[in-house]
C-alpha cells in the first residue's frame, strides 16, 4: 500500500506499457497473485496510490477520503475483515491495569528448529477444508511463539485515558470548508479556481 507513482498502468484491464519501472511492479503483482484494489483516481486523473492484497476477502471496502495535510493526493481508506483465533494463540488473563506485548527482538529463533520438526504433511492431511488447515497452522505457529518469544507486562499509561482536546471552532470550520471544496474538486477536477481555494484553505 502506498504511492507507487505508476500512472500508465490500467489495473482494470491489466494493461502495462513497456516501461521498466511500470513492468517490474506490474509483473511482480501478476506473478505473485496480488490484486490491486484502488479503482479511482487519487491525483488528478491518475491512479497513483495503490493497495495490493493476495486475499480478496481480507479487504472489503476501499474508498477515497480527504487528503492529509498539504498532500494533493486523495487518502485511501480501507476496511479490513479479520477473524480472531481463539484456540492455539497464547492468552493472557485480563488483569487491568496491565497490558502485554511480545518482545520479538528477544525471541529465541531456535523456533525454526521446532517448526522444522512438525510433521506438516500429516497435520494438513488431517483437515479436509482450507479453513480447518489454516486454523491448525495458526494454532501450531502461536504455540511456537508462546514457547520461544517472551511477553512483557506493562502498567497501562494513565495518560492514554485522558480525553483528547477538542478542536477549536475555527479549526472545525476550516476542516468543514476543506472537505466541501475537496468534494467539489472530485466532481470538477479541472477547475483551477477550486484547486486554488483548496490550497488557500490548506495553508491557512
CA distances from 56 to 33, 36, 129, 130, 148 (A): 11, 10, 18, 15, 32
CA 150/CA 180 separation, integer angstroms: 50
Packing angle between helix 169-187 and helix 192-203, nearest 10 degrees? 160
Q: What would the pLDDT profile of 76-135 be if each residue is shown by its tens digit?
A: 877 776 655 555 555 544 444 556 678 888 888 788 888 888 888 888 777 777 787 888
145, pLDDT greater than 60: yes
Under 8 Å between Cβ of 182 and 198: yes
Q: What would the pLDDT profile of 31-65 be if each residue is shown by its tens digit?
A: 888 888 888 888 778 888 888 887 766 777 788 77
Residue 99 backbone class (left: φ over 0; alpha: ψ -120 to 50; beta: rest): beta
CA 59/CA 48 separation, integer angstroms: 19
Parse the chain into domains and list their residue ranges.
1-82, 98-160, 166-204
CA 203/CA 70 separation, integer angstroms: 7
Amino acid at each position: 500500500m502506498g504511492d507507487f507513482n505508476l500512472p500508465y498502468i490500467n489495473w482494470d484491464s491489466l494493461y502495462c506499457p513497456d516501461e521498466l519501472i511500470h513492468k517490474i511492479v506490474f509483473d511482480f503483482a501478476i506473478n505473485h497473485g496480488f490484486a490491486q484494489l484502488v479503482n479511482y483516481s487519487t491525483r488528478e486523473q491518475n491512479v497513483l496510490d495503490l493497495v495490493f492484497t493476495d486475499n480478496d476477502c481480507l479487504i472489503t471496502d476501499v474508498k477515497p477520503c480527504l487528503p492529509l495535510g498539504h498532500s494533493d493526493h486523495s487518502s485511501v481508506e480501507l476496511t479490513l475483515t479479520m477473524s480472531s483465533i481463539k484456540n492455539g494463540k497464547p492468552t493472557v488473563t485480563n488483569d487491568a491495569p496491565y497490558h502485554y506485548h511480545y518482545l520479538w527482538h528477544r525471541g529465541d529463533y531456535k523456533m525454526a528448529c521446532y517448526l522444522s520438526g512438525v510433521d506438516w504433511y500429516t497435520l494438513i492431511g488431517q483437515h479436509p477444508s482450507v479453513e480447518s488447515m489454516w486454523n491448525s497452522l495458526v494454532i501450531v505457529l502461536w504455540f511456537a511463539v508462546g514457547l520461544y518469544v517472551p511477553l512483557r507486562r506493562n502498567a497501562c499509561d494513565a495518560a492514554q485515558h485522558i480525553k483528547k482536546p477538542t478542536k477549536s471552532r475555527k479549526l472545525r470550520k476550516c476542516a468543514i470548508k476543506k472537505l466541501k471544496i475537496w468534494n467539489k474538486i472530485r466532481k470538477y477536477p479541472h477547475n483551477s479556481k477550486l484547486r486554488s481555494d483548496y490550497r488557500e484553505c490548506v495553508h491557512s
